[in-house]
Structure 1
Amino acid sequence: MKLAMEKLLAAGLLSASVISAPVMAMNIVLTNDDSWDTQNIQILKAALVTAGHHVIMSAPCTGQSGKGGAMTFLKPVSVDETKAAQQEFCVGDTDTRVAFEDYAEGTPVMAVLYGIDVAAQTIWGKAPDLVISGPNEGNNLGFMNNNSGTLGATMIALSRGIPAIAVSAHENTAHDAAQSELVANAVVEVVATLESSRPAGGPLLPAYTGLNINTPEDMSNHLGYKLTDVGWNSGGIELKFSDDLSSDAVLMGYMVQKLMAGGMDQVTAQATAQAAMQDKQGLSFGMGDAGDANANSEGNAVKAGYITISTIDGNVQAARAKVSLTEQRLLGLN
């Protein structure tokens, strides 16, 4: 089934020109883990609407990167409906004066479920045809997908039987509108290709199956679409715990970039980041490929300049060959 879907995508994407309008307008719930007030999600919403789709945005009120499948249990959660006329909603408390035991963050999983269970039912009277999570401000690749709020929202939608697509872009889309618009156009093209290649009477995607799309740094000169495997390579990034965050070149570079995107000059941004992280402990980033040099792993392909599309599902079952080898070693258990 995966191979058949990849053939359909390949036929539509790898050799076709950009599709400017969908075959059929769809009801789409759009979410992400960077909050509803980001350039990426706003530009993608506009692009989908322009293409003829009906879009509900339901995202966390605050940034929730790295939250994976996190949820807030046994607490009521605030929902901001002040932009309901634009079909935009955000989930989660924003008043930090609220006591810790009462404060309820709106995670990506919670936000997309609000979109599916409440907003879509109120506006359309039914579940959405598709969930799109992203575009994230930064790629989600390889093993790092396990930590991603972008993927967490995608997986919970798949568990409800709703086709879902995770989209993650380079960090530059946080402040480069031109790159963000190119990413949005690519997503619209993928959606149109899926719809135009849908078997008669068939689903948009096979049951419990989604896509993980990642776009490269320079969307103006990308190498085209590449159908990839998730693999292990996270694009050259690995997690580590540091006792001095200011010594982490990757983390500091990211912080400086964010500060400069907010209008700070480079010298001030570097000094500010250094002061904030000097002698502080915490989770940081290192360089590594998890030993995965396969050119078809999405982490390697996106670094090479491709728009990668990996087929995903919520099944963490190991491949049968690995299962057999492991089971043979456990036969002595009773």
Structure 2
Amino acid sequence: MRLNALVVLLPALGAQGIRIIQSNDDGWAEQYARSFHNALIAAGHDAVLSAPAENKSGSGSLDIEPSPRSTPCQYDSCPANSGPIGRNETSPRLNWVNSFPATSMRYGIDTIGPQLWNGEGPELAVSGPNVGSNLYLAVQFSGTVGAAVHAAKNAKIPAIAFSGASEGTLAWNSPEEPRSRVYAELAATLTNAVIASGKPYLPEDVFLNVNFPKVEGQCTEASQFKWVLSRINVGLFSAPDTEQCGSTRLPTELSVLDTDGCYISVSVGDANDKTTAPAEKQAVVRDKLKSMLTCLP
């Protein structure tokens, strides 16, 4: 699905453009985040990026007030001595915060977004796509997840964290790589589906942890990927999951991405501890996304 197709998809799903705050942990000038931002704008959303000034991967939910910069931002995307917060002067929707992902999300929700939305707050928060997967134990340390969890837990805003298994950092001003485009299209597709499902977009204190497989081989176009409801942790001693595909134990994210094919894991996370949310909340998400979910072979 190309970006221009997303403009058609949004009304077809019955969704309306909404206010979306976006962050990541790889830095505001990382191409994955910029491609996704462009996809959200192309789909008709009022999206604002508020992300770290540089790569802050692995910082979890750290939240510390931003401090003035003495060196240029990532990829020379801002000059030295630029202060604690800044923006692209020609594109004020693109903002950096000289701190961690959770802090960037907090500033985006409380300050940066409302300045551009006539005092209103975001209706949905998205984070990523992260450069590299965030699966199982890595979820606890992921800054991409930390940003989404801040939105869901502290600000009570529905949130989605996206991660892509294809690694390798990319500058915002380099030619767009196919993997960045595909991840952006996929992330926008799920975002639009959640919005089209109606408010409340997600249960309270819930975030979605979404992991895309590598863009390679038979998985090079967005139309080739399939969505699977999954769980974050193994769950050997956990209560049953919601029923899906004839079972009350959802596959783990690891098993979804390890399955041959273009399978995307969609886990319903608990924003209180970053593990799998209970069955009743999984069921709400399952019912919202049922038209696009599939079963593993």
Q: TM-score, normalised by structure 2?
A: 0.70
TM-superposed CA distance for 1:180, in Å, is 1.4
1:88 is aligned to 94
Deviation sequence 1:78-129 (CA, Å, 0-9, x none)? 001343743111011xxxxxxxxxxxxx100111111101111211111101
- Equivalent of residue 24 in structure 2, options 26, 32, 45: 32
1:261 is aligned to none
1:152 is aligned to 146
**Which blocks of at least 5 consecutive residues in structure 2 are unaligned?**
69-82, 171-175, 236-248, 277-297
Amino acid corresponding to residue 140 of structure 1 in structure 2: N
Q: Indicate yes or no: 2:180 matched with 1:187.
A: no
Contact 1:27–1:55, Cα closer than 8 Å, also in 2: yes
CA distance in 1, matches of 2:274, 2:26: 29
Q: Counterparts in 2 of 1:24-103, with a 5 A limit?
A: 24-72=16-64, 78-83=84-89, 85-92=91-98
Question: Structure 1 residues 116 and 232, CA, compared in 2 at 3 Å: closer, same or farther?
Answer: same
CA distance in 1, matches of 2:126, 2:275: 26
CA distance in 2, matches of 1:174, 1:317: 26
CA distance in 1, matches of 2:89, 2:23: 15
TM-superposed CA distance for 1:208, in Å, is 1.4
Contact 2:166–2:179, Cα closer than 8 Å, also in 1: no
Aligned-pair identity in percent equals 29
1:303 is aligned to 258
1:120 is aligned to 113
What is the RMSD computed on CA atoms of the aligned residues?
Answer: 2.6
Q: Indicate yes or no: 2:273 matched with 1:316.
A: yes
1:178 is aligned to 178
Structure 1: 4+ residue segments shifted above 4 A: 73-77
Larger radius of gyration: 1
CA distance in 1, matches of 2:96, 2:275: 36
**Which blocks of at least 5 consecutive residues in structure 1 are unaligned?**
1-16, 93-105, 234-293, 320-334
Secondary structure of the residue aligned to 2:9 is coil
1:162 is aligned to 157
- Equivalent of residue 109 in structure 1, options 102, 115, 129: 102
TM-superposed CA distance for 1:162, in Å, is 0.3
Secondary structure of the residue aligned to 2:10 is coil
Q: TM-score, normalised by structure 1?
A: 0.62
Secondary structure of the residue aligned to 2:220 is helix
Question: Structure 1 residues 84 and 161, CA, compared in 2 at 3 Å: closer, same or farther?
Answer: farther
- Equivalent of residue 226 in structure 2, options 214, 224, 240: 224
Amino acid corresponding to residue 298 of structure 1 in structure 2: E
TM-superposed CA distance for 1:72, in Å, is 2.2
Question: Structure 1 residues 211 and 173, CA, compared in 2 at 3 Å: closer, same or farther?
Answer: farther
CA distance in 1, matches of 2:84, 2:275: 39
Q: Aligned pairs, how many?
A: 227
Question: Structure 1 residues 126 and 220, CA, compared in 2 at 3 Å: closer, same or farther?
Answer: same
Q: More helix per residue: 1 or 2?
A: 1
Q: Indicate yes or no: 2:138 matched with 1:138.
A: no
- Equivalent of residue 129 in structure 1, options 109, 123, 126: 123
1:272 is aligned to none
1:214 is aligned to 211
Amino acid corresponding to residue 207 of structure 2 in structure 1: G
Contact 2:22–2:126, Cα closer than 8 Å, also in 1: yes
